[in-house]
Amino acid sequence: MSSADSAKDWRHTVFSQSENEIAKYCSCITDYGEWIKYSDLCLPKMSRIFEEFDNYVHINKNDLKNITFDQLVNFLKKIKNVTKKHLVQYLSENQIPYEEGLWSS
């Protein structure tokens, strides 16, 4: 299976999008099949220092116990102004391992 074939099976939900004169911002969650990624993204409009920031959480779906991607999405949709900290708190309370980090290009 090519990466293009697997990409068509990805599921993606955007929670918020905004922009100003400096950057575009987006909070979203994506189901990549074997793992899930939540991102708070910052995409600068003009910068010579960086192109993108991704404040992320990776979750291996095998670690989710009986929690589904749809249940995570529904939980996050109930939160006004959702951020990564909301998901991290939920995962910690349910003793679900995750990896978090900040990626920039």
pLDDT in tens, 6-55: 666 889 999 989 999 888 999 999 999 999 999 999 988 887 766 788 99
State which residues form the domain around 71. Answer: 3-104
Task: For residue 52, count CB atoms less than 10 angstroms from its CB and return exposed for 0-12, middle for 13-18, buried for 19 or more.
Answer: middle
Mean pLDDT, the chain, as a whole number? 88
The tokens for 19 are: 């922009």
Number of domains in the chain: 1
- pLDDT bracket for residue 58 (50, 70, 90): very high
